[in-house]
Amino acid sequence: MKCLTVQQIYLYLEEELSPEKASKVKKHLVSCDKCRRALEERRLLHTASLSLPQWNVPPNFAEKTIEKIFPVEKRKFRWAPILATACSSLFLITVFSAVLQGQKLPAFLFGVLRTVWGFIEKTSLFAVKLIKVSVNLVKVLQRFLEMISQELSSLTGSLGTEIQVISISLTLILLFLTAFIFRRIFITGETK
């Protein structure tokens, strides 16, 4: 028989092996000093662990641990329910006041719908124009970068490798500085 695994030793200690396997383990332990020492070490560890006092788990231990491992993201849009409530309240107050003033409800609702539709129409036209301008800007930038890359490739052909390495390094440094400044000004809002 091969030497025992740690799992087999623990199963033997806890008397969870079948009688047939337990007798094989006993026979092996008689002939193998290494496994016998391992068994004695595990037996000492096992008895020491059994002599430890019982540890009581605090209530909600699993939930608290899971919350620490996987923190729950706080909702970012806490204002959305408040805004929806305010808009619906304003709409109901407007409808109620229109009815009290003697306006016919279908005509009033049609006017509101027409106003909202006009707002959506104007906003969507603005969004379409903004997308068109963005696409054209990207095309111009692409052409500009192509032109720069062609000029740089023709220029680098006449320069030595040392100057090429220096120019590439300086370009990368400038790109990183530009990205850092962009991040600082536009994302974090710092101006100093």
Q: Are residues 168 and 149 in the same domain?
A: no
Q: Are residues 177 and 150 in the same domain?
A: no
Does residue 80 have a pLDDT over 80? no
Residue ranges making up the domain that contains 7: 1-51
Residue with tokens 């300086």, as numbered in its chain: 170
Choose among 121, 144, 122, 141: nearest CA to 133: 141
Q: Are residues 45 and 33 in the same domain?
A: yes
pLDDT over 90 for what percent of the chain? 4
* Of 94 and 30, more confident: 30
Choose among 73, 77, 105: nearest CA to 92: 105
CA dist 149 and 157 (Å) reads 12
Is residue 19 assigned to a domain?
A: yes
Report residue 181's pLDDT band, with 50, 70 and 90 as the boundaries: confident
CA dist 120 and 113 (Å) reads 10
Rounded mean pLDDT of the chain?
Answer: 82
0.85 surpassed by pTM: no
Q: Are residues 146 and 170 in the same domain?
A: no
Is residue 174 assigned to a domain?
A: yes
Specify the DSSP class assigned to residue 185: I
Is residue 76 assigned to a domain?
A: no
Q: Are residues 142 and 163 in the same domain?
A: no
Is residue 97 assigned to a domain?
A: no
* 129-151: average pLDDT: 87
Residues 10-43 have pLDDT tens digits of 888 888 889 998 888 889 889 989 989 988 988 8
Q: Are residues 28 and 47 in the same domain?
A: yes
Is residue 125 assigned to a domain?
A: yes
Does residue 55 have a pLDDT over 80? no
Q: Are residues 5 and 34 in the same domain?
A: yes
Q: Number of structural domains, the chain?
A: 3
Q: Are residues 15 and 38 in the same domain?
A: yes
Is residue 91 assigned to a domain?
A: no
CA dist 112 and 135 (Å) reads 35
